[in-house]
Structure 1
Amino acid sequence: MLDVIEGVAAELRRMNVPVSTSELIDAARSLRTVPLADREAVRAAVGACLAKSVPHQDAFGIVFDLFWPRNDAEGRRLADGESLFEQLPDDELRRILLQSLAKDGTSAMREVARVIVDRNAGIQPGRAVAGTFYVFRALRSVQADTLADDVVALDPPAEGPTRSLSLRLARERAGRAVVGFERMVETEVRRRLVEDRGAEAVAATLRTPLPADADFLTASTPVIEHMRRVVDPLGRALGHALTAKRRRSGRAHLDFRATIRDSLSTGGVPIRLHLRKPRPCKPKLVVIADISGSVATFAQFTLQLTSALQTRFSSLRSFVFIDGMDEVTDLLTAGPTIRDASARINNERRGFWFDGRSDYGHALQLFQEKYADAVDSRTTVLLLGDARGNYREPHAEVLAGLHGRAARVFWLNPERRVSWNEGDSVVAEYAEHCDGVFECRNINDLKNFVESLA
């Protein structure tokens, strides 16, 4: 048992989940309070000690299943049901699965997962793979993408004034049940991979970074969805950092009236000077974001970050570019969601000029020609992009002019620092005219940038 806990802790550390020695000791001590034969009780006790957040809990769940896979007998609770399930065709299995999803039939769902993995996953022994394609093939056999809708269709809400609410709640319940079934399929695939190659070998193929460490440019869809939930709080923190710094740097002025009144207690001699609290004007912010294909995922986050900053500044203007330059402030404020705004930006071809290939130099020139009035001594300019202009003229002198007029200029680059200035990257030419150029590949880098301003 201790070997299992040590293996889980070691793998979590390889995934950058912080596990201290004291937490490992607590996990070992927790085994005294639970029956060791109860796998789920052990999982809960150890997880409470080693996993400290939702992303950490997700990582722990995967790793624990590898080092202590569910016993095959645990998934076979249907008396005399196993042979029957194996003989049923896929469409009949799907019908039983729909009924189980609707009635929370965990045992039947687990048995269906076992049968479809055995029949349709096509697991090949000895292959060093993570098993994602095996899971996909198994779920495809039961048309997993429409399971939730079909579950709701089995017992649709009755007509009436509350039908829309009941329908939404039914869809949410069905969605949660389908997610639970998909996890059963993933667990069954991992169990078979562990039986074939061992926990350590499978863990190496499944090892993925935590959402906070995942690159914006290469993150998977589930990781991207998690990232979106933390961008808004970071945007508010960034807005506070930019405004607070300006507030601290403001000069205090003499409060003449308060000083004279206080001097009455000292015979009219102004011994104590009273100063007015600095009340600087709210700063302005200009965000200029590259939305070309090479940084498309990063562009989504920059637009969401911009949306989160709206209330922190007296003026916030947003611009996007590829080889052209367009203002999208109206779209970000008018759209019901940031996704709708992004779709309109794409549909209206904002930021597009000639061939749709990145041209930082021409985009900066257009900004200077069309939107020079957006930048003054109160403006912070935030540039977001990889500074790769397809070997076209960078026109860094335009950025130099912006830097001369603006309060501060920062550049966030989603590429690794070791890749800067290689190939068509011209980060160095632009960095000369910025107050700071920051590597911003993931959520942690974005947090570090915000903290550096605080």
Structure 2
Amino acid sequence: MAGLVSAPGAALAANILAFGRLLRRAGVPVGSTEGLAAMEALSLVDIGDRRQVHAALRAVMVRRREHFPVFDQAFLLFWRDPEAGRNAAAMALMDGMKEQAKPPPGSRRLAEAMAPQRPPRPPPQPPEERPPVDVAMTVSERERLQTMDFEAMSAAEIAAAKSEIRKLVLSLDARPTRRFRPDPLGPSVDLRGTIRASLHQGGEILSLERRRRVTRPPPLVALCDISGSMSRYAQVLLHFLHAVTNDRDRVHSFLFGTRLTNVTRQLRHRDAEVAFELVSHIVPDWSGGTRIGESLELFNKQWSRRVLGQGAVVLLITDGLDREGAKGLAEATARLRRSCRRLMWLNPLLRYAGFQPRSQGIRAMLPHVDEFRPVHNLESLRALVATLSGPQQVRRMAA
């Protein structure tokens, strides 16, 4: 704590401001209000006691629980040596990092945040005649984001991916439910409400209470294949599922390879990097084999009645290349279709113009889905969101 003890007054305030800028670069929302509160908090504790200083700063500078790990790492590194940002390579070798075989969530973002900021390059002089170029996001950057491992994404890459995914506002078509709510302009008369209101008038019915049926979007259930052939697409689609899970309610996400794993609770974490870290701890079969039939059968037995109520929409994300061939796949897919209102199969293999359903698994599943769509880039996700947000056709029951 030499950096705190030997730097009272103005030097301490400068260190607090530098620490706040470090937290902002690492993804923690810290402003001038938190900086002033930090100065006031330090005046109430013993600056020589590291634990008191850590507790005081975290109490006033961090508002969300998911930012605690990033703050703890930043506090450990910054207040040991405020000038350590000039040597980012040495920061990764400190005691708080080298004892762990795998860096905790946010460590890479923090290392990049502590690196010295490079001055922006001066823009080159344009020639006299040069066609305009759209520099918002190039194709190479989009492809790099789509193929990058989610555990290795930096702060800038996560921000770029989130900015693109945040534009995909998913507003599912609202459906009427069995519940009613009071509405003076409702289309139907509320008999119970009318009688209840008459009790305040001595039993005389002076007016009729009205009600309206409650409408809400149906549940959204995603079954995503994370086998070796789907790993590069699952990494990008996890960002999409994370954004949708944190934007709306009644979203359930499942990952399957050789087994089925419910990751709904993990994806509800607001910090994407921490959410993916939690997912990696409970998913042991990432980039492994594929058992689509067994996974769908297990979902039908254990989860369908819990999450497929009220006209749920199911997104089945897989390439259909089953390790076990087509064993039990047609029956499991048919049962899944009967349990939901809409079953959409998202297959990245449809990116090929000459795609033919030659695999046994694809031929077994294809007759039992409502829609068969590609999912391999941001454009296909935008098309998917537009389809889900629009009016949905009524499924025709087979005779």
What is the TM-score normalised by the length of structure 2? 0.52
Deviations 1:275-305 (A, max 9, x none): 9654224422211111223322322332222
- Residue 440 of structure 1: aligned partner: 375
Give the whole-Å Cα distance in 1 for the aligned partners of 2:113 and 2:291: 48
Give runs of aligned pairs for residues 361-372 of structure 1, distance below 5 A. 361-372=293-304
Deviation at 1:398, TM superposition (A): 0.7
* 2:149 is aligned with 1:209: no
- Residue 389 of structure 1: aligned partner: 322
Q: 1:312 to 1:217 in 2, by over 3 A?
A: closer
- Residue 357 of structure 1: aligned partner: 289
Deviations 1:109-140 (A, max 9, x none): xxxxxxxxxxxxxxxxxxxxxxxxxxxxxxxx
Deviation at 1:174, TM superposition (A): 8.3
Deviations 1:203-222 (A, max 9, x none): 9xxxx73656x487547978
Give the whole-Å Cα distance in 2 for the aligned partners of 1:387 and 1:215: 25
Is the contact between residue 377 and residue 405 of structure 1 (CA under 8 Å) also seen in structure 2?
no
Larger Rg, first or second structure (1 or 2): 1
Give 1:434's aligned amino acid. V
- Residue 197 of structure 2: aligned partner: none
Give runs of aligned pairs for residues 401-440 of structure 1, distance below 5 A. 401-415=335-349, 416-418=351-353, 420-421=355-356, 424=359, 426-440=361-375
Percent identity, aligned pairs only, is 22
Give runs of aligned pairs for residues 313-328 of structure 1, distance below 5 A. 314-328=249-263
Is the contact between residue 325 and residue 367 of structure 1 (CA under 8 Å) also seen in structure 2?
yes
- Residue 173 of structure 2: aligned partner: 243
Is the contact between residue 417 and residue 439 of structure 1 (CA under 8 Å) also seen in structure 2?
no
Q: 1:329 to 1:419 in 2, by over 3 A?
A: farther
Deviation at 1:167, TM superposition (A): 4.4
Deviations 1:432-451 (A, max 9, x none): 22221211211111111222
What is the TM-score normalised by the length of structure 1? 0.46
For the residue of structure 1 that corresponds to 2:173, the secondary structure is: helix
Give 1:209's aligned amino acid. V
- Residue 400 of structure 1: aligned partner: 334
Aligned-pair Cα RMSD in Å: 4.6
Give the whole-Å Cα distance in 1 for the aligned partners of 2:210 and 2:363: 44
Give the whole-Å Cα distance in 2 for the aligned partners of 1:179 and 1:385: 44
Q: 1:451 to 1:211 in 2, by over 3 A?
A: farther
Structure 2 residue corresponding to 1:286, chosen from 218, 221, 246: 221
Is the contact between residue 288 and residue 321 of structure 1 (CA under 8 Å) also seen in structure 2?
yes
Q: 1:168 to 1:276 in 2, by over 3 A?
A: closer
Deviation at 1:428, TM superposition (A): 4.2
Deviation at 1:307, TM superposition (A): 2.5
Is the contact between residue 385 and residue 412 of structure 1 (CA under 8 Å) also seen in structure 2?
yes
Unaligned runs of 5+ in 2: 1-9, 26-84, 86-111, 125-129, 192-208, 391-399
Unaligned runs of 5+ in 1: 1-156, 188-198, 259-273
Is the contact between residue 146 and residue 236 of structure 2 (CA under 8 Å) also seen in structure 1?
no
Give runs of aligned pairs for residues 248-287 of structure 1, distance below 5 A. 254-256=187-189, 277-287=212-222
Give the whole-Å Cα distance in 2 for the aligned partners of 1:219 and 1:166: 27
Give the whole-Å Cα distance in 2 for the aligned partners of 1:321 and 1:437: 19
For the residue of structure 2 that corresponds to 1:366, the secondary structure is: helix
* 2:378 is aligned with 1:378: no
Is the contact between residue 219 and residue 313 of structure 2 (CA under 8 Å) also seen in structure 1?
yes
- Residue 137 of structure 1: aligned partner: none
| Number of equivalent positions | 260
Deviation at 1:331, TM superposition (A): 1.2
* 2:260 is aligned with 1:337: no
Give 1:381's aligned amino acid. V
